[in-house]
């Protein structure tokens, strides 16, 4: 069996080389080997690791499959590599992007391999948060000027003698190290290394009603489980985060964007038209995200429930 | 000062381990010489170089050139001839082959695949394994993981075939030509200690996210053991047989095909077995770069902190690994036995049955695993994990919760170790590495170790590397402590040995991502969970090697000790452990290498340092950070491997004496 399989593989490989001949083989035009197994039309969506993004993808996938008759593949990729994959056509669309000016310039303006897909309808915001139970006891903690006063309360074994500012996945946009420096805070940024680790840690803190200070973002389903209050940082002004080493202001409010592979945007038919029109609200997204993350429904089940209850919303997205 | 504490075990043992007579004298002599040399260098260093971390003047900043390389690749990927006419075809061939295997598996349907697996196992290894295989595939279906399992299987089949081909050819070259052997050996040695995460970034940059990149990364990881074992098998061919073949007038080609390769069958099969295990070990890690299949399910489940779902996808990987391991091992064990009569007929029956089952499945329209036959284990598992973390995390009477232990471990072990290492003057670290490597190995291993350490400094990541090193040392110490205790237990009580075996099997093959969440839930975010994950990963190998080494001790030696009235304790400490010293040293070496392999995983739970940099590079597509961290991890691995590798010198010294 093993031998025949190897022989078959070698033949297949030889055939592949033979078929493509000595011509050029453009890697950017290759599909996934798992895609399109029955000759149906396939769309590949990038799903990022956070649950809000999974909710977008789940609902888009559900509607593409049940209403428009597509087959949908999802690939989990980090934010920046996802741009690269989108440009190469490995994925057809990113449904939630938090702003990557460098990549936008390279792939949209210079190479023209990615096209804009419009607003998602959700506004994202990054900030520093303390648990509400702590903020209620110490109302002045929500101003950054008072943070040093509480550094002791936020201390952990990892943060040395300083207070701990918990950061998450390395793929997320963060200026926290620079912020701590420029604002002269007595804090140490501790990188959890992944969102999963960060959420687990926050939940453990919350279970014991311990104080913590964490980098976090909205919309996020965890707020429903662990109520958190934002700490006010110096107000955001256009361009105040231009030099990443010296940022001393809060994070902006970002209208989240959709992006499509340029070829797909032109020739993607109903699917591309649908994804361009896809637009919902923060509450909608949270509803689905919470079903996935807290009730542990599979993304498809969660999407199915939402679709059943919100027909007026998604009818408008379908191409006429 | 802390640096010398942990590695003291190997250094003190080797002076006596060197053997008897001349060797021992030499060993003692060496020890004294090295000590004197180190003392002189210490004084000189203190006077001439002073203290402090690695000097900035000796570091090279690679970020400029690396960023330019990265930009060039991205800009030319869809136009440059190198990509269009070479790499593009490679990528294409991979896609087409994986697709071919995947379609065959889908066409067979779940019944056909399960039947085929059972029948192959039956022909190769007998009825018991056949039942195990059928059960394993059925469980994959029951867990609702049939399609991802087939995707992973298709990818694995192609990756293993390519690894066997590439590894076999390299091994052939190294086995037949001495020069190739000399060139290839250091390369293969290095690849052996290369953590899988370290080279995902360059592969993904060239091939983009997706199956081709995943397959190629897997091949790079799985081919070296095949090459190594092929070379070993060819070089170990019986000289007498070769002589006989030559005297019969066989040509070089005939000798290779009819004598050398058949004689090396056992090693070749072991190579295939190793390649399969390594490839499966990569299945989850490769999902980070878009391998799809089971690994992707594990990875996605982590996003919603869903241990149960991650486990449901992790179990099929473990089952595949166990089945494939047992079947190939059984095939290896049967080599040399007379071929059974009517073997051909048996295979024909197997083939016919598979076809019948597959066609029956197709006709009854049951290709996909029936949805009603799946069981959801995620709920109960999550319940159990929640209960465990809720009750163990803190406030346990008397001993305190796991969070308190983690905090204490960080404050009292990890912090002093890290600060101590970083406080040491840079040249003293090099000196310590060199002296230790010399004590245990040869001049050559010492030179490699020192150069590797210096390379870390030159790369400009001295401090994070020492941070990582402190975590590795702490994890190795814990692993050895637990591993030796369990290994001694398993060797002395066969019941305990039997009970431990399946547990070890599971932990060795369980994807590390699966226990990322429980580890954080128990120990919080930071370096302590990173150490815990490393211990869980490295422990099985250490236990196994220790137990094997102890059980292999000459029974006559034990018997004579017993007849002299030695107590069980005396037997253990004065006979068994000293006689098993080579195995124990191997356990240390393996422990170090395996612990380092999890450092990057540690980066995902707050371990920081090099592991975080590697993850950061991958997540941000930042070649300058990721590749430098990857290279530093490799250097660290080389250094640790050389410092703990005792076999080399004995081989050389034996030849000299």
**Token code pair at residue B523:** 């120990």
Domains of chain A plus CATH, in order, are 36-123+255-315 (3.40.190.10), 124-253 (3.40.190.100)
For residues B410, A184, A176, B609, the Cα torsion angle rounded to the nearest 10 degrees is -30
Alpha helices (H) along B49-145? 63-76, 81, 88-125, 127-142
The residue of chain A with its CA nearest to that of B393 is A204
Tell me whether residues A30 and B212 touch, CB distance under 8 A.
yes
For residues B247, B250, B253, B254, the Cα torsion angle rounded to the nearest 10 degrees is -120
Place of tokens 């001495």: B178
Q: How far is B470 from chain A (nearest CA, A)?
A: 14
Q: How far is B95 from chain A (nearest CA, A)?
A: 5
Confidence bin at B27 (pLDDT 50/70/90): low
**Of residues B223, B213, B247, B229, the one with CA closest to residue B91:** B213
Tell me whether residues B604 and A194 touch, CB distance under 8 A.
yes
Residue B14, pLDDT > 50, answer: no
Surface of B (306-325) touching A: CB under 8 A: 306, 308-309
**Token code pair at residue B362:** 């197709």
Q: B100 in contact with A at a CB cutoff of 8 Å?
A: yes
**What pLDDT sits at residue B162?**
93
Residue B71, pLDDT > 70, answer: yes
**What pLDDT sits at residue A59?**
94
DSSP per-residue codes, B267-322: HHHHHHHHHHHHHHHHHHHGGGGT--HHHHHHHHHHHTT-HHHHHHHHHHHHHHHH
Can you tell me the distance from the alpha carbon of A268 to that of A275, in angstroms, rounded to the nearest whole number?
A: 10
Interface confidence: ipTM more than 0.85: no
Surface of B (277-306) touching A: CB under 8 A: 287, 289-290, 292-293, 296, 299-300, 302-306
Q: Could you count the other beta carbons within 10 Å of the beta carbon of residue B275?
A: 30
Which neighbouring-strand residues pair with A130? A229
Q: A261 in contact with B at a CB cutoff of 8 Å?
A: no
Q: CA–CA distance from B575 to each of B15, B488, B553, B565 (Å)?
A: 18, 13, 9, 13
Percent of chain A topping pLDDT 90: 26
Can you tell me the distance from the alpha carbon of B162 to that of A142, in angstroms, rounded to the nearest whole number?
A: 58
Place of tokens 């090193």: B469
Instruction: Note every long-range contact of A234-237, with CB atoms under 8 Å and residues 24 or more positions apart, other chains counting.
Output: A234/A144, A234/A183
CB under 8 Å to A39, separation ≥6 — which residues? none
| CB-based contact A43:B124 (threshold 8 Å) | no
**Token code pair at residue B1:** 């000062």
**What pLDDT sits at residue A130?**
93
Strand A213-218 relative to strand A114-131, pairing: antiparallel
Give the 3-state DSSP-derived string for B156-203, with helices as H, strands as E and coil as C. Answer: HHHHHHHHHHHHHHHHHHHHHCHHHHHHHHHHHHHHHCCCHHHHHHHH
Residue A37, pLDDT > 80, answer: no
Report which listed range, A226-235, B597-606, B614-623, is most confident.
A226-235
| CB-based contact B225:B104 (threshold 8 Å) | no
Can you tell me the distance from the alpha carbon of B158 to that of A16, in angstroms, rounded to the nearest whole number?
A: 14
Can you tell me the distance from the alpha carbon of A9 to that of A3, in angstroms, rounded to the nearest whole number?
A: 10
The residue of chain B with its CA nearest to that of A197 is B605
How high does pLDDT run on average in chain A? 84
Tell me whether residues B100 and A25 touch, CB distance under 8 A.
no
- The mean-pLDDT minimum among A125-129, A199-203, B622-626 falls in B622-626
| CB-based contact A124:A256 (threshold 8 Å) | yes
Q: B19 in contact with A at a CB cutoff of 8 Å?
A: no
**What pLDDT sits at residue A36?**
56
Confidence bin at B161 (pLDDT 50/70/90): very high
**C-alpha B161, offset from chain centre:** 19
CB under 8 Å to B84, separation ≥6 — which residues? A24, A25, A26
How high does pLDDT run on average in chain B? 79
**C-alpha B471, offset from chain centre:** 18
More confident of the two residues B24 and A132: A132
| CB-based contact A178:A246 (threshold 8 Å) | yes
Running DSSP on this structure, what letter comes out for residue A32? P
pTM for the full model? Answer: 0.80
**Token code pair at residue B495:** 């019941």
Percent of chain B topping pLDDT 70: 88
- The predicted model gives B94-115 an average pLDDT of 86
Can you tell me the distance from the alpha carbon of B578 to that of B15, in angstroms, rounded to the nearest whole number?
A: 13
**Of residues B197, B51, B148, B54, the one with CA closest to residue B626:** B197
Q: Which of B305, B383, B615 to mutate to test the interface with A (most CBs of A within 10 A)?
A: B305
| CB-based contact B179:B239 (threshold 8 Å) | no
- The predicted model gives B565-576 an average pLDDT of 81
The residue of chain A with its CA nearest to that of B409 is A157
The SS3 assignment for A127 reads strand
Q: A54 in contact with B at a CB cutoff of 8 Å?
A: yes
Tell me whether residues A75 and B296 touch, CB distance under 8 A.
yes
Alpha helices (H) along chain A? 2-20, 51-66, 79-88, 101-103, 132-137, 176-182, 195-207, 222-225, 262-267, 269-277, 282-293, 299-309, 311-315
| Each residue's pLDDT tens digit, B268-322 | 888 888 888 888 888 778 887 877 788 888 887 777 677 888 888 888 888 888 8
Residue A277, pLDDT > 80, answer: yes
Which neighbouring-strand residues pair with B116? none
Surface of A (162-191) touching B: CB under 8 A: 166, 169-171, 190-191
Which neighbouring-strand residues pair with A143? A232
Measure the CA angle with vertex B59, ends B54 and B65; round to 5°.
155
**What pLDDT sits at residue B337?**
60
DSSP per-residue codes, A242-271: SSTTS--SPPPEEEEEEEEEHHHHHH-HHH
Can you tell me the distance from the alpha carbon of B540 to that of B542, in angstroms, rounded to the nearest whole number?
A: 5
Q: What's the start-to-end Cα distance of chain B, in Å?
A: 36
**Token code pair at residue A88:** 């190469």
Tell me whether residues A81 and B618 touch, CB distance under 8 A.
yes
**How many residue pairs bridge chain A and chain B with CB atoms within 8 Å of each other?**
248
Q: Give just the sign of the alpha carbon dihedral B292, B298, B304, B308.
A: positive
Q: Could you count the other beta carbons within 10 Å of the beta carbon of residue A209?
A: 10
Task: Give Rg (Cα) of chain A.
Answer: 23
Q: How far is A167 from chain B (nearest CA, A)?
A: 9
Can you tell me the distance from the alpha carbon of B656 to that of B645, in angstroms, rounded to the nearest whole number?
A: 19
Place of tokens 């940024």: A189
Confidence bin at A274 (pLDDT 50/70/90): very high
Residue A98, pLDDT > 90, answer: no
| CB-based contact B297:B317 (threshold 8 Å) | no
**What pLDDT sits at residue B12?**
39
- The predicted model gives A177-189 an average pLDDT of 90
Q: What's the start-to-end Cα distance of chain A, in Å?
A: 52
Partners of A90 on chain B (C-beta within 8 Å) are 208-210, 290
- The mean-pLDDT minimum among B179-188, B210-219, B370-379 falls in B370-379
**What pLDDT sits at residue A3?**
53
**Of residues B232, B167, B270, B280, the one with CA closest to residue B509:** B280
Using CB atoms, which residue from A106, A170, A197 is nearest to B525?
A197
Q: B410 in contact with A at a CB cutoff of 8 Å?
A: yes
Q: Which of B209, B374, B602 to mutate to test the interface with A (most CBs of A within 10 A)?
A: B209
Can you tell me the distance from the alpha carbon of B582 to that of B556, in angstroms, rounded to the nearest whole number?
A: 19
The SS3 assignment for B509 reads helix
**Token code pair at residue B567:** 């107590």
Task: Give Rg (Cα) of chain B.
Answer: 26
Surface of B (197-236) touching A: CB under 8 A: 204, 207-212
Confidence bin at A215 (pLDDT 50/70/90): very high
- The mean-pLDDT minimum among A179-188, B50-59, B221-230 falls in B50-59
| Each residue's pLDDT tens digit, A124-166 | 889 999 999 999 999 988 898 888 989 888 988 888 788 899 9
| CB-based contact B497:B548 (threshold 8 Å) | no
Tell me whether residues A8 and B100 touch, CB distance under 8 A.
yes
Q: Could you count the other beta carbons within 10 Å of the beta carbon of residue A1?
A: 15
Q: Which residues of B318-328 are buried (b: 16+ CB within 10 A; e: fewer)?
A: bbbbbbbbbbb
Residue A14, pLDDT > 80, answer: no
| Each residue's pLDDT tens digit, B544-563 | 888 888 887 777 887 888 88
């Amino acid at each position: 069996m093993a031998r025949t399989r190897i022989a078959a593989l070698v033949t297949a490989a030889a055939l592949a080389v033979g078929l493509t001949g000595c011509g050029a083989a453009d890697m950017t035009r290759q599909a996934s080997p798992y895609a399109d197994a029955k000759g149906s039309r396939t769309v590949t969506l990038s799903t990022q690791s956070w649950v809000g993004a999974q909710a977008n993808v789940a609902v888009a996938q559900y509607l593409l499959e049940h209403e428009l008759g597509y087959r949908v593949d999802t690939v989990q990729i980090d934010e920046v590599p996802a741009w690269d994959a989108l440009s190469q056509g490995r994925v057809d669309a990113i449904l939630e992007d938090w702003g990557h000016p460098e990549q936008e310039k390279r792939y949209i303006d210079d190479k023209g391999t990615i096209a804009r897909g419009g607003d998602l309808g959700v506004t994202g915001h990054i900030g520093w948060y303390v648990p509400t139970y702590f903020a209620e006891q110490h109302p002045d903690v929500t101003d950054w000027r008072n943070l040093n006063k509480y550094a002791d309360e936020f201390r952990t074994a990892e943060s040395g003698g300083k207070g701990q500012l918990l950061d998450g996945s390395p793929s997320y946009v963060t200026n926290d190290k620079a912020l701590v420096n420029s604002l002269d805070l007595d804090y140490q940024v501790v990188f959890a290394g992944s969102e999963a680790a960060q959420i687990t840690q926050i939940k453990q803190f919350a279970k014991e009603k311990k104080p913590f200070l964490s980098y976090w973002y909205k919309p996020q389903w965890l707020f429903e489980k662990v109520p958190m209050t934002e700490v006010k940082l110096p107000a955001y002004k256009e361009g105040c985060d231009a030099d990443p080493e010296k940022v001393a202001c809060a994070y902006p409010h970002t209208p989240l964007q959709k992006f499509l592979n340029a070829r797909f945007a032109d020739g993607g038919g109903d699917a591309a038209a649908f994804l361009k029109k896809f637009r919902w609200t923060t509450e909608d997204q949270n509803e689905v995200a919470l079903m996935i993350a807290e009730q542990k429904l599979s993304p498809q089940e969660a999407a199915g429930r939402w679709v059943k209850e919100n027909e007026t919303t998604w009818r408008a997205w379908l191409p006429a | 000062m802390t640096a010398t504490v942990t590695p003291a075990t190997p250094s003190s043992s080797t002076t006596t381990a060197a053997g008897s007579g001349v060797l021992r004298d030499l060993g003692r002599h060496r020890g004294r010489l090295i000590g004197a040399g180190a003392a002189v260098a210490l004084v000189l260093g203190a006077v001439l170089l002073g203290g402090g971390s690695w000097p900035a003047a000796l570091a090279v900043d690679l970020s400029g050139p690396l960023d330019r390389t990265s930009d060039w690749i991205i800009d030319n990927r869809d136009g440059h001839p190198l990509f269009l006419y070479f790499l593009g075809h490679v990528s294409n061939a991979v896609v087409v082959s994986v697709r071919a295997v995947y379609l065959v598996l889908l066409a067979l349907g779940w019944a056909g695949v399960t039947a085929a697996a059972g029948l192959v196992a039956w022909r190769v290894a007998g009825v018991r394994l056949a039942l195990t295989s059928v059960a394993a595939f059925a469980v994959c279906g029951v867990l609702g993981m049939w399609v991802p399992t087939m995707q992973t299987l298709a990818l694995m089949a192609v990756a293993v075939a390519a690894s066997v081909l590439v590894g076999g050819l390299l091994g052939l070259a190294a086995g037949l030509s001495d020069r190739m052997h000399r060139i290839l050996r250091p390369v293969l040695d290095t690849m052996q200690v290369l953590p899988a995460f370290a080279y995902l970034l360059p592969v993904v940059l060239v091939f983009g996210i997706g199956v081709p990149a995943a397959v190629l990364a897997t091949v790079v990881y799985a081919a070296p053991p095949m090459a190594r074992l092929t070379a070993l098998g060819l070089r170990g061919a019986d000289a007498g047989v070769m002589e006989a073949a030559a005297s019969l007038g066989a040509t070089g080609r005939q000798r290779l095909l009819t004598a050398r390769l058949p004689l090396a069958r056992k090693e070749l099969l072991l190579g295939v077995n190793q390649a399969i295990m390594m490839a499966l070990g990569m299945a989850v890690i490769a999902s980070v770069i878009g391998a799809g299949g089971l690994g992707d399910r594990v990875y996605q489940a982590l996003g919603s902190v869903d241990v149960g779902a991650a486990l449901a996808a992790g179990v099929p990987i473990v089952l595949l690994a166990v089945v494939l391991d047992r079947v190939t091992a059984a095939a290896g064990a049967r080599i040399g036995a007379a071929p059974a009569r009517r073997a051909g007929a048996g295979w024909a029956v197997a083939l016919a049955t598979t076809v019948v089952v597959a066609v029956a499945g197709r006709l009854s329209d049951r290709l996909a695993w029936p949805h009603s036959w799946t069981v959801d284990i995620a709920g109960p598992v999550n319940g159990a994990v929640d209960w465990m973390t809720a009750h163990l995390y803190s406030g346990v009477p008397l001993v305190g919760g796991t969070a308190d232990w983690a905090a204490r471990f960080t404050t009292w072990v990890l912090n002093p170790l890290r600060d101590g290492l970083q406080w040491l003057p840079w040249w003293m670290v090099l000196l310590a590495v060199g002296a230790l490597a010399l004590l245990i190995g040869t001049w050559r291993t010492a030179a490699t170790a020192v150069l590797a350490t210096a390379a870390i400094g030159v790369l400009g990541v001295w401090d994070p590397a020492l941070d990582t090193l402190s975590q590795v040392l702490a994890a190795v110490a814990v692993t050895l402590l637990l591993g030796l205790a369990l290994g001694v237990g398993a060797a002395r009580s066969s019941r305990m040995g039997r009970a431990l075996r399946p547990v070890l099997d599971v932990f060795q093959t369980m994807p590390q991502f699966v226990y990322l969440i429980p580890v954080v839930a128990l120990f919080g975010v930071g370096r302590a969970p990173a150490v815990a994950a490393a211990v869980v990963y490295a422990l099985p190998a250490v236990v196994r090697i220790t137990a094997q080494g102890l059980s292999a001790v000459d029974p006559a030696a034990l018997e004579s000790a017993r007849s002299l009235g030695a107590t069980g304790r005396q037997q253990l400490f004065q006979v068994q452990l000293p006689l098993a010293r080579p195995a124990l040293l191997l356990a240390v070496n393996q422990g170090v290498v395996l612990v380092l392999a999890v450092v990057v995983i540690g980066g995902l739970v707050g371990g920081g340092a090099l592991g975080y940099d590697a993850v950061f590079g991958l997540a941000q597509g930042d070649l300058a950070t990721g590749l430098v961290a990857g290279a530093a991890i490799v250097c660290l691995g080389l250094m640790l491997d050389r410092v703990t590798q005792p076999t080399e010198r004995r081989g050389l010294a034996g030849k000299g004496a």
